[in-house]
Amino acid sequence: KKWVYFFADGKAEGTAQMKELLGGKGANLAEMTNAGVPVPPGFTITTEVCKYYYDNNRTYPQDLAEQVNAAIKELEKVTGKGFGDPIKPLLVSVRSGAAISMPGMMDTILNLGLNDETVKGLVEMTNNERFAYDSYRRFLQMFGDTALGIPHSDFENALSEMKANKGVKLDTDLDAEDLKKLVEIYKEIYKKHGKEFPQDVNKQLWAAIEAVIWSWMSDRAIKYREIHGIKEGQLLGTAVNIVAMVFGNMGDDSGTGVCFTRDPNTGEKVHYGEFLPNAQGEDVVAGIRTPYPLEKMKEMIPHAYDELIEIMDRLEAYFKDMQDIEFTVERGKLYILQTRNAKRTSQAAIRIAVDMVHEGLIDKKTAVLRVQPSDIERVLHPKFDENERKNAKVIAKGLPASPGAATGKIYFDAHKAEKMAEAGEKVLLVRPETSPEDVGGMNAAEGILTARGGMTSHAAVVARGLGKPAVVGAESIYVDEEEGFLKVGDFVVKEGEWLSIDGTTGEVFLGKVTTVKPRGLEGPVAELLSWADEFRKLGVRANADVPRDAKVAREFGAEGIGLCRTEHMFFEKDRIPKVRRMIVARTVEEREAALAELLPLQKEDFKGLFREMKGYPVTIRLIDPPLHEFLPHEEEQMAEVAAQIGISVEELKKVVEQLHELNPMLGHRGVRLVITYPEIAVMQTKAIILAAIELKKEEGIDVVPEIMIPLVGHINELKYIKDVVIKTADELIKQHGVELKYLVGTMIEVPRAAVTADQIAQEADFFSFGTNDLTQMTFGFSRDDVGKFLPEYLAKGILEDDPFKHVDTQGVGQLVKMATEKGKEVKEKLKCGVCGEHGGDPKSIMFFATTKLDYVSASPYRIPVARLAAAQASI
């Protein structure tokens, strides 16, 4: 079997396509060699050897040694040098490289092939004693550390000591004699650790190969794969690249550097990079000396610079992506040591993808696929100033519930937060957890931090809806609302003091960290998303409750509203007393009187929404939460509220007690509520229909309202309330003598509804899957308490993902799929969408795109993300 692939002088056995076998580095070295790019000769030991090694009790394939020896012979031939030859020694680097680049995670050894004899040959060959001994001591250091496990610090300490004794600061201040001495000291360090430095270059080579293969299973490499979701077994292992050394440290016409074909921060099309004259590659990385900007090389070694620029352009055109290139110049001659697709910021990723389409380098499809949904997310939310962030202290970590950065003075009471914000303060709302009453304060705050709750807790859902950064479930934080402080570890932060949160990472920072605003949907992002729209098959709607949200959603490209939660309008200051009066009403008449006061207000809300959506569909859900959520629960609030709505405190308390539920999530809510109090449904229907009629008459805007009944589990529930809705609506329409179409549909969020979707479809004009509740009820996981045990589930591998974050494709997802199919069999035109939090989650969208669903609905700030994810799912 072939274990070794050779490359030299314009001819290589490998190609760029062989990344899995040769690793990214090896495959690209081969490809560049074939393309005539000046690459030092060498060979690659395949990733299969690494796999064999671990599968076979840490042994090599039998014929590997033979193939490596032959390759070394070949390398000697093309370089005209000898491996271990005391007169013209061949030196090599031994470099790791897996199929997926894992920068800095694995080991590389440079200058291999030096020993007490060959170092003299190197002096002769280069006529540079200092250089030769510097290379030797570097090799001793790297080899000792990487291959033999001698602590790096032992060598560093010896080096520092030598500099201190000599009274100098820089490595470069040491002369040949010093370095010779250092070589001897280094050998002593080997002895001290009971190791012998191998003078035999073949022993060196095999030890280095083994060290590279070992580094595949090093803790940090394993951790890196874990963090980046690279599954064990997905890759064979690392390849080992053996490359003839070229030297950038041979004088002023030599040097080394790293360059990018575009600016990796902004994406601008400029040649970007750093250059360090008279140095070896690792010097740049180690930061021993500060490199110059690339342009400086133009003055120092002009012809090598020109050639580098030409090669940069060639490589980018060849690989059709921005390249990150390592190079070295040895006495005026340029060598390329590595090229790979460059890492870049989100902003750069978007700009580069769009620019490359305009340049004709890639097509729109490729551009849409190349940008990650998370890139879109990141460029649309405020971020911390990078420098300030680096210096800030992280005091806690919670769930990254709503992306973006926020900084403000902390307040624990939502009303106070609102007041302070009105007074012009930047406010961060900190709560143990939030409830619907806190929405005002949440909206006024820059961001939200809670000590409890999961990814679909109230705080998280509302924050995402508002586009407010939020960190939730930061369990290490103790919040004392009464005394007005929070405590975490030894830190105490009092009300009114600064705190900062990063909703993208979940980090909580002490003090103020300045944020910078996003630029919205314009320029490259807007253009990229318009291409995404050409490819996607899923529609994208918004979850929006008020005209302001609807406007944002439209600006981000929403094609309608998939979910308007009407109860959110009830929490506004001037309305809540009316809502409460409606709840405590003792008779139907009293209730209707209170509802009559709410009607004009709700009608105006809906008019605003319809107006903003300009004829796009708007789905309005009838009241959903249990009524007790609208009533106060604390003693001191009782009196105030009772006075406000004109009943005694005792009466109010009685109502609160009556409405108390042990398990409100499965209690008197959703359709159950309007079955008990049909007059609420009547009022809401009137408000919706009247809004549409008036808009049509007054402003000529045509709307087809979609009235949605939540929490239906049995067809008779839907039938009962649908009759009420239709009767109310038709009467109004007749009375106003207009033509108006409207739909009545249902949420599918109770498993029974999904199972009986064919029956339900007979009564419904549309389905909207409320996947939050559907997940909650299918798993039987209370979404507000899931934080207590889910981390354990994830840590123990019982669940792979938080099912509230990424839809559970095998259970909940199957219910969605099945119900959609069943529904459409009964009613071909039945519109089906998803309005749960999953509607804005790229991973879930990937799944939804495989079903017969028509659209997903997401909070306004997630619309752009959903548009891209939906396009990627269709390509």
Binding residues for Mg ion restricted to 733-762, rule: CB under 5 A: 749
Residue pair 618/741 in contact (Cβ under 8 Å)? The answer is: no
Q: Which is nearer to ligand ADP, 284 or 819 (CB)?
A: 284
CA 87, chain centre distance (Å): 55
**737-757 burial string, b = 16+ CB within 10 Å, else e?**
eeebebebbbbbbbbebbbbb
Smallest CA-to-CA distance from 636 within 621, 625, 623, 652 is with 652
Residue 338 near Mg ion by CB under 5 A? yes
Backbone angles phi, psi at 256, to 5 degrees: -145, 160
Q: Which is nearer to Mg ion, 130 or 783 (CB)?
A: 783
What, of Mg ion, ligand ADP, none, does residue 91 touch, CB below 5 to 8 Å by kind? none
Binding site for ligand ADP (CB under 6 A): 40, 93, 95, 104, 108, 110, 243-246, 281-282, 326, 328, 337-338
What, of Mg ion, ligand ADP, none, does residue 36 touch, CB below 5 to 8 Å by kind? none
Other CB atoms closer than 10 Å to residue 181's CB: what's the count?
Answer: 15
Q: Which residue is nearest to ligand ADP (CB)?
A: 281
Residue pair 151/145 in contact (Cβ under 8 Å)? The answer is: yes
Residue 539 near Mg ion by CB under 5 A? no
* Nearest approach, Cβ of residue 108 and ligand ADP (Å): 4
What, of ligand ADP, Mg ion, none, does residue 602 touch, CB below 5 to 8 Å by kind? none
* Whether residue 458 lies in the annotated active site: yes
Residue that has been written with the tokens 């008459």 in this structure: 697
456 is in an annotated binding site: no
Backbone angles phi, psi at 614, to 5 degrees: 40, 55
Cα 780 to Cα 803: distance, rounded to the nearest angstrom: 12
What, of Mg ion, ligand ADP, none, does residue 543 touch, CB below 5 to 8 Å by kind? none
* Nearest approach, Cβ of residue 651 and Mg ion (Å): 31
Residue type, 375: D
770 is in an annotated binding site: yes
Q: Which is nearer to ligand ADP, 294 or 681 (CB)?
A: 294
Q: Which is nearer to ligand ADP, 225 or 607 (CB)?
A: 225
Cα 522 to Cα 97: distance, rounded to the nearest angstrom: 39
Q: Which residue is nearest to Mg ion (CB)?
A: 773
Site size with Mg ion, rule: CB under 5 A: 4
Dihedral sign, Cα of residue 133, residue 135, residue 136, residue 140: positive
* Nearest approach, Cβ of residue 802 and Mg ion (Å): 18
Cα 349 to Cα 369: distance, rounded to the nearest angstrom: 11
CA separation (Å) from 753 to 32, 172, 765, 832? 59, 76, 15, 14
Residue 444 in tokens: 């006024």
* Nearest approach, Cβ of residue 652 and Mg ion (Å): 28
What, of Mg ion, ligand ADP, none, does residue 93 touch, CB below 5 to 8 Å by kind? ligand ADP
69 is in an annotated binding site: no
* Nearest approach, Cβ of residue 94 and ligand ADP (Å): 8
What, of Mg ion, ligand ADP, none, does residue 108 touch, CB below 5 to 8 Å by kind? ligand ADP
CB under 5 A: which stretch of 64-72, 332-340, 380-388, 484-492 binds Mg ion? 332-340
Residue 627 in tokens: 């009524």
What, of Mg ion, ligand ADP, none, does residue 787 touch, CB below 5 to 8 Å by kind? none
- How many residues appear in the chain? 875
317 Cβ contact list (under 8 Å, min separation 6): 361
Residue pair 439/465 in contact (Cβ under 8 Å)? The answer is: no
717, 773, 808, 854: residue in contact with Mg ion (rule CB under 5 A): 773
* Nearest approach, Cβ of residue 283 and ligand ADP (Å): 9
* Nearest approach, Cβ of residue 773 and Mg ion (Å): 4
- Grouping H, G, I as helix, E, B as strand and the rest as coil, residue 477 is coil
What, of Mg ion, ligand ADP, none, does residue 245 touch, CB below 5 to 8 Å by kind? ligand ADP
Q: Which is nearer to Mg ion, 632 or 770 (CB)?
A: 770
**228-266 burial string, b = 16+ CB within 10 Å, else e?**
eebeeeebbbbbbbbbbbbbbbbbeebbbbbbbbbbbee
Secondary structure E strands in 46-185: 92-98, 108-112
771 is in an annotated binding site: yes
Residue 770 near Mg ion by CB under 5 A? yes
Residue that has been written with the tokens 């340049």 in this structure: 359
Residue pair 131/158 in contact (Cβ under 8 Å)? The answer is: no
Catalytic residue, from 50, 806, 835, 838: name it.
835
* Whether residue 259 lies in the annotated active site: no
Longest dimension (CA), the chain: 108
Q: Which is nearer to ligand ADP, 113 or 400 (CB)?
A: 113
Q: Which is nearer to Mg ion, 338 or 407 (CB)?
A: 338
What, of ligand ADP, Mg ion, none, does residue 140 touch, CB below 5 to 8 Å by kind? none
23 Cβ contact list (under 8 Å, min separation 6): 44, 47, 96, 97, 98, 99, 238, 239, 241
565 is in an annotated binding site: yes
Transcribe 820-850 into DSSP letters.
HHHHHHH-TT-EEEE-SGGGG-HHHHHHHTT
Cα 567 to Cα 605: distance, rounded to the nearest angstrom: 11
Q: Which is nearer to ligand ADP, 244 or 594 (CB)?
A: 244
Q: Which is nearer to ligand ADP, 222 or 818 (CB)?
A: 222
CA separation (Å) from 382 to 439, 441, 554? 21, 19, 20
Cα 443 to Cα 697: distance, rounded to the nearest angstrom: 34
* Nearest approach, Cβ of residue 533 and Mg ion (Å): 29
CB under 5 A: which stretch of 121-129, 225-233, 336-344, 393-401 binds Mg ion? 336-344
Q: Which is nearer to ligand ADP, 326 or 765 (CB)?
A: 326
CB under 5 A: which stretch of 219-227, 272-280, 764-772, 783-791 binds Mg ion? 764-772
* Nearest approach, Cβ of residue 713 and ligand ADP (Å): 57
Residue 808 near Mg ion by CB under 5 A? no
What, of Mg ion, ligand ADP, none, does residue 89 touch, CB below 5 to 8 Å by kind? none
646 is in an annotated binding site: no
* Nearest approach, Cβ of residue 343 and ligand ADP (Å): 12
* Nearest approach, Cβ of residue 282 and ligand ADP (Å): 5
CB under 5 A: which stretch of 50-58, 353-361, 647-655, 768-776 binds Mg ion? 768-776
What, of ligand ADP, Mg ion, none, does residue 524 touch, CB below 5 to 8 Å by kind? none
Catalytic residue, from 50, 381, 458, 568: name it.
458
Secondary structure E strands in 535-677: 539-543, 561-565, 618-621
Binding residues for Mg ion restricted to 645-684, rule: CB under 5 A: none
Q: Which is nearer to Mg ion, 802 or 837 (CB)?
A: 837
Residue 273 near Mg ion by CB under 5 A? no
351 is in an annotated binding site: no
Residue pair 545/569 in contact (Cβ under 8 Å)? The answer is: yes
Strands of 42-45's sheet in order across: 11-12, 4-8, 42-45, 238-244, 92-98, 108-112
Dihedral sign, Cα of residue 170, residue 173, residue 179, residue 181: negative
* Binding-site annotation, residues for substrate: 565, 621, 749, 770-773
What residues line the site for Mg ion (CB under 5 A)? 338, 749, 770, 773
Catalytic residue positions, numbered: 458, 835
- Point out the annotated binding site for Mg(2+): 749, 773
Q: Which residues are annotated as a binding site?
A: 565, 621, 749, 770-773
